Amino acid sequence: MGVRLLVASRSDVGRVRAGNEDALLVADDPRLVAVADGMGGHQAGEVASATAVATLLERVQHGEPIDTAISAANDAVVTQSQDDESLRGMGTTLTAGMVDGSSLRIGHVGDSRAYLLHGGELRQLTTDHSVVAELIAAGELTEEQALVDPRRSMITRALGIEASVAVDVLTVELEPGDRLLLCSDGLTTMVRDDAIAEILAAERDRERAADALVDAANAAGGADNVTVVVADVVDVDAPFEDTMETPAVAGEVVAASTAAATDDGAPTVTDDGDPDGALEALRDAVDAEVSAPRRRWWQRRKRS
């Protein structure tokens, strides 16, 4: 008895930012999903988020539990930051879910979020490690005030900043028919939970649901990069063909999400100027792990 995931994912630069520092991961069947939101000058944020998901994947594939895999991702970002002056001060959030039987094990640091839609009700599974979340918990700010508070994107915990990081770990039971959402704050600072719930409940096609979430964030201003992973929970014995709705290889994912990102729908994939090739090398390293490319891929969206 167990479940597996059918996944649609998007990462979009939004309407304001010059580059996309978010990264996402859909891997291993897929039973591992993750969203990371990097921060840091120049391309450092992109390096941080990409390093985090790459390390997570590598460690999980070597059998490590999700919390130690995330700690390893912290080490990797810290080390890179120390070794390269241009990357100093970079950091990233990381919210990851791993299916084990009929359970989902979640590891979480920062203000990206995991939600579960169950029986039409949307529940936020993770707690934000952010200034406004702490103020709300202390009764000093209401949810409404938090939405417009200038401190709303300040986080209190991230990977890559200190030698060790406290990783929140939680386990939720999944049932066929549930829908899981992982997202960066580019969605949740633009779109209220009730609107997210409405989209997830109304749009049964997960690819269209993912598009609709990104569209909603951009329609609200698209002030930040927006990344969503929409995962439908199905019985482990459900036909595998269903998963082929999602693009099968990394290149196709990049093209698909880039097309979704542009106003006119033109599929423009442009080079983001990765002068020392560090990001491409990272990506190649992960791609090399991909022994069953129809089932696993890793994606970092190109700047558009």
Provide the binding-site residues for Mn ion, judged by CB under 5 A.
37, 184-186, 224
Residue nearer to Mn ion on the CB measure, 11 or 71:
11
Residue nearer to Mn ion on the CB measure, 64 or 193:
193
Would you give the distance in Å from CA 187 to the centre of its chain? 11
Residue nearer to Mn ion on the CB measure, 12 or 37:
37
**138: DSSP letter:** T
Letter for the amino acid at 160?
Answer: G
Count of residues in the chain: 304
- Minimum distance between the CB of residue 183 and Mn ion, rounded to whole angstroms? 10
- Minimum distance between the CB of residue 216 and Mn ion, rounded to whole angstroms? 16
β-bridge partners, 226: 12
- Give Cα separations from 199 to 28, 53, 209, 226 (angstroms): 27, 27, 6, 16
Residue nearer to Mn ion on the CB measure, 37 or 67:
37
- Minimum distance between the CB of residue 225 and Mn ion, rounded to whole angstroms? 6
d(CA 130, CA 156): 5
Is the bond into 30 cis (omega within 30 degrees of 0)? yes
Question: SS3 for 128?
Answer: coil
- Minimum distance between the CB of residue 186 and Mn ion, rounded to whole angstroms? 5
d(CA 257, CA 214): 10
Residue nearer to Mn ion on the CB measure, 12 or 185:
185
- Minimum distance between the CB of residue 153 and Mn ion, rounded to whole angstroms? 6
